[in-house]
Amino acid sequence: MMKPAAALLFQTASAASKPQWLSENKNTAAKSDHIARAIAHLVSFIVAILILVSLHELGHLLVARWCGIKVLRFSVGFGKPFFTKRWRNIEWCFAPIPLGG
């Protein structure tokens, strides 16, 4: 016996409304794999941003020194620094929010 078209449409819409990772037929190993991949992507993104910001800020430092401007501090990140080291009369800092310096 054939189902009415409205019933097929309703079934399709309700099945499509749930995200794939919330479906009941997936086991917990697949869900934990999805979470692990999401965390790996997040860490990769943060590392990539940190590298790009560091290179960008290093460009500012090199051009400033090339133009004869005295540089007192080189920082990667915003906020209170969690690492600071003084080297060649420059205070080198790393701060917790890696979106600039």
For the annotated catalytic residues, the residue numbers are 57
Pairing of the two strands 73-76 and 90-94? parallel
Sign of the CA dihedral running 21, 22, 25, 31: positive
Cβ neighbour number for residue 100 with a 10 Å cutoff: 12
Backbone angles phi, psi at 95, to 5 degrees: -120, 165
* 83, β-bridge pairs: 94
